[in-house]
């Protein structure tokens, strides 16, 4: 119950933002970027810092950072799989059930330090492609939702059975 309430609260905050659709969409897409890399829990803070650099909405960036943190294991595996596919190399990380994340991170760092050999290069190649694709997709989806359906989504999220509908962003 508490998790559902928190999600609802942050969605209401997101759709009440007075920023332009461009700033909100840019903030959310920038917020997802650090989470494609192992940031060890500081992804949301990096997201806010990046958003300030590009003058995007920091609340949207923080929400993007939180979303990315929650799905980080999936993003980690996806980096390896995309890099492996693009470079036509086999990786030790084929199934999420087989992965010990600490070992995988150590192996990735060693691969990067050793001159982009082995899995470190696969990981970074996959991360670069995934960052590009996810940033573009999240930007355009959020821009469209915020521009066209902002008030409808806000009313649906924030209304109770007999409450008044919200007509203006607060």
Residue-wise pLDDT tens digits, 97-111? 555 656 666 666 666
Summarised one tens digit per residue, pLDDT across range 113-150 is 565 556 778 888 999 999 999 999 999 999 998 888 77
What is the pTM (predicted TM-score) of this model?
0.71
13 pLDDT higher than 80: no
Region 47-67: mean pLDDT is 92
Yes or no: say if 77 and 119 are a contact pair by the CB < 8 Å rule. Answer: no
H or E segment and range at residue 85: helix 72-87
User: So what's the pLDDT on residue 108?
Assistant: 63
């Amino acid at each position: 119950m508490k998790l559902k309430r928190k999600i609802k609260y942050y969605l209401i905050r997101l759709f009440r933002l007075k920023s332009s659709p461009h700033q909100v969409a840019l903030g959310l897409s920038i917020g997802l970027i650090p989470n494609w890399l192992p940031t060890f829990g500081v992804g949301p803070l990096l997201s806010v810092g990046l958003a300030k650099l590009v003058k995007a909405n920091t609340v949207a960036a923080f929400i993007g950072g939180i979303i990315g943190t929650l799905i980080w294991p999936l993003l980690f595996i996806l980096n390896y799989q995309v890099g492996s596919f693009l470079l036509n190399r086999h990786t030790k990380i084929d199934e999420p059930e087989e992965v010990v994340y600490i070992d995988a991170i150590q192996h990735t760092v060693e691969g990067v330090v050793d001159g982009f050999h082995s899995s470190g290069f696969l990981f970074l190649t996959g991360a670069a492609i995934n960052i590009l694709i996810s940033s573009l997709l999240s930007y355009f989806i959020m821009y469209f939702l915020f521009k066209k359906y902002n008030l409808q989504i806000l009313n649906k999220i924030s209304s109770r059975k007999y409450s008044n509908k919200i007509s203006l962003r607060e």
